[in-house]
Copies of this chain bind each other. A is one copy, B any other.
Amino acid sequence: MKDKIDDIKEDMQDYIEKDISIDEQWIEDKYPIDIAEALSEMEEDRVHEVVKLLEIEDLAEIVEQSEEELQITILKSKSNEEIIEIFSHMATDIITDILGNLPINMSKKLLRHMKQSEAEVLKQLLGYDTESAGGIMTTEYIVFNENLTVAEALNKIRNIGPKTEIIDMIYVQNYKKELVGVVELREIFNNSDDTNLKDIMIDNVISVLPDVDQEIVAQQVAKYDMSAMPVVNKNNKLLGIITFDDIIDVIEAENTEDMFRMVGVDEEESINSPFFKSIKRRLPWLFINLGTAFLAAFTVGLFEDVIARVAILAAAMPVVAGMGGNAGAQTLSVVIRGIALGEVEDERKWKLVIKEGLLGLVHGLAIGVLTGGVLYFITGNPYLGVIIFAAMVFNLFIAGLFGFLIPLSLEAMGIDPALASAIFLTTATDVFGFFAFLGLATIFIDLLI
């Protein structure tokens, strides 16, 4: 894998030194994303030299596959006219992304240089939230009138096919331009020339409005095994389609987001993020965590006297808190995924919270018996064993309850249910765990000394 990228880099160095146009066969043998990856590892002025040697059409494919930073580097070296030519080889969703990433005055200038009709389409797309259906849809699709015959449709597809992103789904509209159906290309092949599209179309089309969150779109596409999702306006007129490659990106991104946000990492972070960006993205969450950690410390501080008298309590503390944190994290992960997959339905919430609470109790009983036994065995004091048993049951119950309620409350407040949920959860399990354990120890202090 890595060798492939290195080979491409070496070849490109050669081309620069010889200063000859890049061989068309060389380009054809490569995947644009591999070339983009090689370019992203090269110095900026080297990139500009390579870019000079590339045909506009090939360059367009490479830019399409590049990360934001490389896109800007490449496009900055091009004139407005050249950039618009590059855009002419791209789908509208890609152009919208690029325009959104470019400095605002640069993208405004580009829009002014374009044909008015194209600029209008792009301006409209730029108006949608980047994480909404409208923000990820493309306006290249095939839509035919329902009265078209199979022969007419095939003929038209033959002419316009090369210009659209998806050709195996043909959308069908009525005379009012309402989306009324969808026909798979295979159905068109499979029917006689004079059949009307309306007779072979599937007429309960699933579609979304442009302001629907991309996560919901991805859920629907995954559930119904769709290869593209149509986006319609309130009058049911087709505005665009979202293709499966964008859906895959959404699913990758949303899952990363959940996992990251749970522990307080910005979703933009990656293993290769620059050092200072990583600090900027992670440190604020650590400060928030510090605030909550002081809450736990304050709880323990309330029991300083009893700890001074029975120091072994300090040793047992991390067991109660740690188990609560881990059991809670289990519930949390399951609930966050459940919400993301649309599996937590309103009428089931009570059933689910009871399940997670009971699970906590059962786990608490099992873990508590063992912990209490071990502590009794080590210290020889049965009361210490009973106290840690009781604290464990209580804390694992709390863990199950809060592991469920934290993400649900965040969601109800319109906040991402994963956001810092692990930080809130460990605060709860630490505070309640310490309070239960040390509180019980205080009450029964005479039995412990």
Contact = CB atoms under 8 A, between A and B. Distances in A.
A332 B358 CA distance: 30
A325 B355 CA distance: 28
Interface string A236-279: 00000000110111011001101110111100011110010011
A333 interface: yes
Contacts of A333: 259-260, 262-263, 265
A223 to B, nearest CB: 6
A279 B359 contact: yes
Given A326-B263, A326-B423, A330-B285, A227 B244 contact: yes
Nearest to A358: B275
B185 A162 contact: no
A289 B326 contact: yes
Interface stretch (A44-52, A123-131, A296-304): A296-304
Nearest to A342: B1
Interface stretch (A70-78, A95-103, A104-112, A314-322): A314-322
B222 A325 contact: no
Nearest to A434: B318
Interface string A181-200: 00001110110000000000
B204 A294 contact: no
Given A263-B330, A323-B286, A318 B300 contact: yes
A28 B251 CA distance: 29
Contacts of A167: 168, 185-186, 189
A2 B362 CA distance: 31
Given A297-B319, A337-B256, A271 B343 contact: yes
A363 B322 contact: no
Main secondary structure of the interface of A (DSSP, over half): helix
Contact of A265 (B28, B334, B422): B334
A289 B252 contact: no
A345 interface: yes
A204 to B, nearest CB: 5
Contacts of A270: 334, 337-338, 341, 343
A427 to B, nearest CB: 9
Contacts of A367: 286-287, 290
A445 B187 CA distance: 83
Interface stretch (A82-90, A172-180, A305-313): A305-313
A311 B312 contact: no
Given A270-B338, A318-B300, A327 B366 contact: no
Interface string A338-364: 100111111110001001001100110
A285 B138 CA distance: 46
Nearest to A218: B248
B29 A204 contact: yes
Interface centre among A33, A186, A187, A204 (most CB of B within 10 A): A186
A62 interface: no
A249 B251 CA distance: 10
Contacts of A366: 283, 286-287
29 contacts: A2-B345, A28-B204, A29-B203, A33-B224, A167-B168, A167-B186, A185-B185, A222-B249, A227-B244, A244-B244, A255-B255, A259-B259, A259-B262, A263-B330, A263-B333, A271-B344, A275-B355, A275-B359, A278-B359, A282-B327, A282-B359, A283-B363, A287-B370, A290-B367, A304-B312, A304-B314, A317-B318, A322-B430, A326-B422
Given A259-B259, A271-B334, 6 more contacts: A260-B337, A270-B341, A275-B359, A278-B355, A311-B311, A326-B426
